[in-house]
Structure 1
């Protein structure tokens, strides 16, 4: 029998131009900066690192300070999905605001902005991975969701809320609530905006579409005339 391969855990601070990479292995039990690679060379780099289905990759997830997802969030998730499809490894997301605030507090008042920016580019992946290693529960795992089909005609409803569910819809008079990265990505590709904030939603909807597992988790502040539980 051969020696079993050690599980590798990497963090990626994804940018449209460059990616910062950090790594952690069980034998040394320390997070170290690994490399900075061009974003269009990231998959090639991971292939050279022999990433496989046993390994884990932790992505920093860009989220605005208000808590909303954005186009940069989509680009990061889209890249993560491509990597998962190629390598089959587990992928988790960590809120980048945790690392941004940590870096800012470390250097506030000590160096100028350009130096902080340079240090951030070099250090964010280390902080992303350190945060995850210290508390894996903060990681949101990338899992493709089942796309629910709707058999009845819902176009007759003026106000529709899709709550924590992935539905095959082609109408735009809907509000969508989700904090799941894959579900956000799915709707964004269809040209549909979603929100992570309850405060962005209306108080009342004509139709609520919700998954069975989330039917008891709807905030009491939201009311509706009719519900569809899929």
Structure 2
């Protein structure tokens, strides 16, 4: 990911009502709580920070305990896309599962539950940013993908799997595996359900459509009659 020294780095716990914001204190490399703001004011607030294209914003990505994306995942990604389009800085996602429960565990017996709850958004953003600093290799960069319009007749296929690649074709009898946040967002916005779990998929498909980068992952996990790598 590269060096983040001398860059502005913020962590965001995005909610439907409020957003907790943390900032990385560069001299000691420690995330600190900054403030909590209304969600509708987030973009305005971030614009006021005068961020450069090299600065970083880390969003917590809501994921169910089973590992699936949800409507809240979509809303967080959608807001992150709005921020990136307006500001142009680098944006990453980190899995925010257990941030709240971890927070309560850390302060149990030291701070009252009500006080923790009042500052939950800020404290969760600190944990989100801390997770990013400690394990940046686990973060997922927000990157807009090329959307493919495939010139092929798919009517002869009974079961099609689209594996982590955005296509704009109208298909029947298909499933979608979307691990990449932008790709999940793309299909959710079009009204299509997807999964992040291989266990949700069938053992065999007539056709799997994916990218060249995912060829080996598919060959290890799913059987198919035909594999189309874009």
Output the TM-score relative to the length of structure 2. Answer: 0.90
Q: Aligned partners of 2:108, 2:64: CA distance in 1, in Å?
A: 20
Please report how far the alpha carbon of residue 18 of structure 1 lies from its aligned counterpart in structure 2 after TM superposition.
0.5
Please report how far the alpha carbon of residue 22 of structure 1 lies from its aligned counterpart in structure 2 after TM superposition.
0.4
SS at match of 1:155: coil
User: Which structure 2 residue ranges, 5 or more long, are not aligned?
Assistant: none
Aligned pairs for 1:133-172 (under 5 A) are 133-172=133-172
SS at match of 1:215: helix
Per-residue CA shift, 1:169-210, capped at 9, x if unaligned? 223521111211111111111111111100000111111112
Per-residue CA shift, 1:77-129, capped at 9, x if unaligned? 00000100111100000100142342243255777765553342231001111
Change (3 A) 1:116 1:171: farther
User: Which structure 1 residue ranges, 5 or more long, are not aligned?
Assistant: none
Q: Find the counterpart in structure 1 of residue 65 from structure 2.
A: 65
Q: Find the counterpart in structure 2 of residue 92 from structure 1.
A: 92
More deviation, 74-83/91-100: 91-100
More deviation, 220-229/124-133: 220-229
Aligned-pair RMSD on alpha carbons? 2.1
Change (3 A) 1:111 1:157: farther
Q: Find the counterpart in structure 2 of residue 223 from structure 1.
A: 223
More deviation, 24-33/51-60: 24-33
Please report how far the alpha carbon of residue 158 of structure 1 lies from its aligned counterpart in structure 2 after TM superposition.
2.1
Q: Aligned partners of 2:224, 2:135: CA distance in 1, in Å?
A: 38
Native 8 Å contact 1:172 1:192 kept in 2: no
Q: Aligned partners of 2:31, 2:157: CA distance in 1, in Å?
A: 52
Q: Aligned partners of 1:54, 1:225: CA distance in 2, in Å?
A: 44
Change (3 A) 1:105 1:212: same
Q: Aligned partners of 1:225, 1:135: CA distance in 2, in Å?
A: 38
Q: Aligned partners of 2:167, 2:98: CA distance in 1, in Å?
A: 31
Output the TM-score relative to the length of structure 1. Answer: 0.90
Aligned pairs for 1:137-216 (under 5 A) are 137-216=137-216
Q: Find the counterpart in structure 2 of residue 121 from structure 1.
A: 121
Aligned residues: 226
More deviation, 5-14/17-26: 5-14
Per-residue CA shift, 1:6-46, capped at 9, x if unaligned? 42000010001110000014234321111111111111111
Native 8 Å contact 2:165 2:210 kept in 1: yes
Q: Aligned partners of 1:139, 1:185: CA distance in 2, in Å?
A: 17
Please report how far the alpha carbon of residue 68 of structure 1 lies from its aligned counterpart in structure 2 after TM superposition.
0.1
Q: Aligned partners of 2:45, 2:221: CA distance in 1, in Å?
A: 48
Q: Aligned partners of 2:201, 2:108: CA distance in 1, in Å?
A: 36
Q: Aligned partners of 2:111, 2:54: CA distance in 1, in Å?
A: 41
